[in-house]
Amino acid sequence: MITTFVKLPACTPRSISSVRAVRMSDVRSRKISAQAIKLYTNPGSRGKIPEWVLSELNLPYETVLLDMRSGEHKAPKYLEINPFGKVPAMEDGDLKLFESGGILLHLASKYGQLPQDQLSKAFQWTLFANSTLSPALFEKQAQMPQMLLPLDKILAMTKYLEGSEFSVSDIAVGSYLLYLPLFFPDLFSSGGFIDKYPNVWRYMKEIVERPSCPDAYKEGMISAVQASSSKNSGGNPLSNLFKK
């Protein structure tokens, strides 16, 4: 059975690069405009990437969770949205989109209030994240160092990818970095990742603390911080990554 829920904004949409996000509450059983954004996703998909953008922009949207085991992603109605039967996909009014990077760039272009130069940078980093960084991260021995060493040098000189302010580029690249604790927890228990890429590690801890960052990324980083702390201290301290 398809599960839906709605997220409504606390205020009007804002620039993704200049205003700190406010986490939106989950609101169920509430009518929204026929033109509202619908995000079709699944907990195991890359739907967390557009979810992060939507939350940063404080846009109202409806999440439609598809049960992949029962084949909801192959239903004729859904195939009208994404003929390939994959998630995530999105409806923005009459516009239908699939692919997490395409959705991210659409949201940044339409709602992000970005100057052209910054939008061009968003395209650059999104294409890098999806076509170059993502496959390299799953080749830990051969390809990962070739991507992370240059990235570490970049982040040694700047807080975020485009300077001192968080941007959509950080969501594009940071999301794939934050998949690492979820897929490869051993990278952090050994201590090698943190020693080799200290600036990437600092960056990951920085972006995951944003209120709009998806919970799955936060949980993965808490485990990674705990693992690295245990390695360094010999104990098992609780992470203070998220001070509440």
CATH-assigned architecture of domain 3-111: 3-Layer(aba) Sandwich (3.40)
Residue 64: pLDDT band by 50, 70, 90 thresholds?
A: very high
Lookup: tokens for 151: 């990235």
Distance of CA 243 to the CA centre of its chain: 21
Model pLDDT for residues 151-193, shown as the tens digit of each residue: 999 999 999 999 999 999 999 999 999 999 998 888 888 778 8
Lookup: tokens for 235: 């104990």
Model pLDDT for residues 8-63, shown as the tens digit of each residue: 454 444 444 432 222 223 323 233 443 689 999 999 899 999 999 999 999 999 99
Q: What does the pLDDT read at residue 243? A: 46
Q: Read off the DSSP letter of residue 184.
A: -
**Domain range annotation of the chain:** 3-111, 116-233
Distances (CA, A) of 96 to 15, 64, 122, 129, 230: 23, 14, 21, 22, 46
Q: What does the pLDDT read at residue 216? A: 94
Model pLDDT for residues 207-220, shown as the tens digit of each residue: 999 999 999 999 99
In angstroms, the CA 113 to CA 85 distance is 31
The answer on pLDDT for 203 being more than 90 is yes
Among residues 87, 83, 85, 41, the alpha carbon closest in space to that of 61 is found at 41
Q: What does the pLDDT read at residue 187? A: 87
Q: Helices 144-157 and 198-208 meet at what angle, rounded to 10?
A: 70
Model pLDDT for residues 86-138, shown as the tens digit of each residue: 999 999 999 999 999 999 999 999 999 899 999 999 999 999 999 999 999 88
* Mean pLDDT, range 200-211, rounded to an integer: 97
CATH 2.60.40.10 fits 116-233, yes or no: no
